[in-house]
Structure 1
Amino acid sequence: MVEDPGTPLAAGIWNPRMTTTEPDAAQRPGPPECSIIIATMALRERADTLFRAIESVRKGNHTPLEVLVVVNGQQFDPDLVRRLCHAPLVRTIRLETASFARALEFGVRESSAPYFGFLDDDDEYLPGAVDLRVEALRSRPNAALLASNGFRQVDDQDKLALLNLAEAERDPLVSLFRENWLPSCGGMFRRSRIPEDLFHDISSHLEWTWVAFQVARRLEVAVLDEPTFRIHSFPDSQSRSSQYLLNQPPALRRILLDCTRQDARAIVRKHLAQSLYRLSNHYLDRKEYRLAWKYHLDCLLCRPEGWRYWKHAARLAGLRRSPGSRRGGIGSGGRFDAP
């Protein structure tokens, strides 16, 4: 009997057993060899893309697998969760308090397969992706993580997501900060090589950059430079939001605290300066001048990488020109309000 998803469960698990309805190889009885974890808020408007994601995990694969859906928080649609609980090969668990970082950790802890990966509820795997990844990872017994390529769909056109993935095998740390080679749906992990604390206390923003950073500095990375996923971009994607811009600097500063290689640190400082510059522009466009100045000054403190943006002060000063001044700009004699 499937529990009513409206009733809180102490263990947070609605459907602890998989149901099997199809006789193909990926759905044979027995323990799964691979778990694919999907963290989702299970909102009604995400139902179609969520089930597309689930179906894509099964399609074209023969590896015995399970889909572990972590319902993240309290805003879920009960009808959607009921459908999930009855879906074949889907195990549905619930995290009471919404937190994407904690949902990832919870999913890893609840899964038991020797290999595991992740998929967002609006993205998809390409047919046979699980088999390709597991086979590639088996051929590299010392690798903790396999990073694979895929497509990013923009305006209904598939574009290769990663242009320099091969660099991740040669120097995973430095290449990570030149191009993030671990999108959410791009990795396959080997449980026996993953430290227990890898998914504990994940940075609450830039989560996959943080996970890739921890892997790159401690573990071996293998690469499969073949398309295995498709990322769908939407106008309301988190990476386009104001909150995303605001949360980038603290996430990058946290990486700097743990990063000891000077060549990698220089690249991270460059990204930090860029993120602060974008924030300054963001608040300038919103005419919130005090915050625009704050993030500009923070940017200049990222020396020497932030110094390239010093001319931005002229734009800030020009737009803060007092109503009585005839001309704006530095050295014009106009009077400017203090930031």
Structure 2
Amino acid sequence: MVDDLAIVDSGNTTLTPNIDMLAQEGLRLTRHIAAAPLCTPSRAGVYIISAASGGLPKEEVTFAKVAKRQGYETVLSFVTIQASLGKWHRGLNCERNDDYCHHPSAHGFHHFYGITLTKLRDCQPGRSSIFTNVQAHTPFKYIFSTLPYKTLGVGVATVTFLHARGVVTAWRKLVLRVVAIYGTFVANFPDFSCFLMRNREVDEQPYVSENLTQRMTDEVNSAPFLLFFSFIQVHTAMFASPAFQGTSQHDIYGNAIQEVDWSGNPPTGKGGIQVPVLLRWTGMLPAGKDIDEPTSNVDIFPAVVKLAGGTALGDRVIDGHDLIPLLQGKVERSKQEFLFHYCNAYLNVVRWQPPNSKSTFPM
């Protein structure tokens, strides 16, 4: 999976031969939508029943848990400067710093190699910092944009002004100590937060993004039954390994896309609500076919459960429908009659395809 790669981003001037091969040898879902317009709940909608944000509850059912019960080995591979061989971003601990209640290993994955946080520009040398990327809309925005947090700059300015007017008394040593402590935290933030994990152990801290995609690709050469590979690119601070730097006319964004293409023929890419999905299963799915029926990321979960030999979830009501009959041509219509689009907690639109009709109506 490629987070936040829009369907039009690559265009026809970015070289993606492996993705092109998937399109030729597999089939394309042309009316597929994401589970949500945000990265984490949309990605989670692929491998769990619900797509809520935040850490995963222990009772949540993932397709990795189902496959594990059936005796299969599962690997969570997330390649991102965030978390799961790649990007997890679903939490790590609950009550203690070593209970790993939200870790992938607690949700059915035998192996994890990746990062648990997200969008940390501090992990990319020379790519700015989350502390200095201030969106200040004041006459002093150029001053505040160089400070760690706009709030700190405003606070120092306010205390200085009130001290000069005699309203408050500020002890210089105390102010300097607070600023020094805060500055030390900011300077060492990458060491605290930029860590790469292998299962439950920190493998590298701070990690180096150079050749990280290649390292994660090598990590999954064992080809487990179930591999979920969520790339670092293009969701987080942009980077490209040396072999791909300068290879695209679209600068670092194009370089990152071409590295994703090289790494592993990613099966699905998403960029908002309307998302491109390519599926290849040689001998089982037709090649070069387009399916124009409405489908969703939430349909992948029941399809994987069915392929793993899992049973119905009993007490769970899920939104997804098994895709396999539609993909194999055994049925011509998707079971998705209604598809709901949310922005955070707000319902934005509903798409309705009535039974026995090819028309889709926004509601």
- TM-score, scaled relative to structure 2: 0.21
Task: Judging by fraction of residues, say which structure has more helix.
Answer: 1
Higher relative contact order (CA 8 A, sep 6+): 2
TM-score under structure 1 normalisation? 0.22
